[in-house]
Amino acid sequence: MKARIVYASMTGNDEDIAEILEEDLQDAGFDVTTSDISFTDPSDYLTSDLCVLVTYTYGEGVMTDELKDFYDGLAKLDLTNQPFAVMGSGDRVYGTAYCQNVFDFEKLFKQLGAVEVIAPVTVDQSPDQAAIARIDAAAESISRKLHE
C-alpha cells in the first residue's frame, strides 16, 4: 500500500513529524514517499492509497506562498474516496489561529471528497515524547483502518 507524506517546514519541526510518521508507516508495511511541499505536485497524491499533509502555520493562519500554491493545485483535484490525514506543528500563543493551516487543508481534503482516516494531530512546536507517542498511535490507527 502506497503512502505519500507531503510536509511544509521552515525550522524543522514539521519535517521531524513527517519523518516520525514515515518510519511508523514503513514499520506498518506501507511503501512511503515523503517530500517537501515546494518540490511536490499535488497530483502525486492521485497515485497514493493514503495522502498525508504535515504543515506549519505562520502569520496568524495566512498561508505562505508555498502552502497557497500547493493548496490551489490540490483544489483542482478529485480525491473522491481517497483516504487522507493531516497533522502539523504550531504554537498555542496564536490562540484561535493555532495550527490553522492544518485545519485549512483538512477542510479542503473533505471538500474534494477524500475520507479522513484519523483526527488531525497537532503538536506544540517540536515533537516531544508525548507528541511522538500520539504520532505513533495515529500511524497505528491509520494502518488498522486501511488494512480492514
Ligand X SMILES: Cc1cc2nc3c(=O)[nH]c(=O)nc-3n(C[C@H](O)[C@H](O)[C@H](O)COP(=O)(O)O)c2cc1C
Among 9, 34, 40, 64, binds ligand X (CB under 6 A): 9
Kindly state the DSSP code that residue 64 receives in the 8-state scheme. P
Interface with ligand X, residue 119, by CB under 6 A: no
Among 12, 29, 73, 113, binds ligand X (CB under 6 A): 12
Among 13, 40, 48, 64, binds ligand X (CB under 6 A): 13
Pinpoint the alpha helices (H) of the chain.
13-27, 65-74, 100-111, 129-146
Tell me what percent of the chain is helix, strand and coil, each rounded to the nearest 5. 50, 20, 30
Among 36, 91, 136, 140, binds ligand X (CB under 6 A): 91
CB 40 within 8 Å of CB 6: yes
| Secondary structure (3-state) at 145 | helix
Interface with ligand X, residue 58, by CB under 6 A: yes
Instruction: Select 11 or 43, whichever has its Cβ closest to ligand X.
Output: 11
Residues in contact with ligand X by CB under 6 A are: 9-14, 56-61, 89-91, 94, 97-100, 125
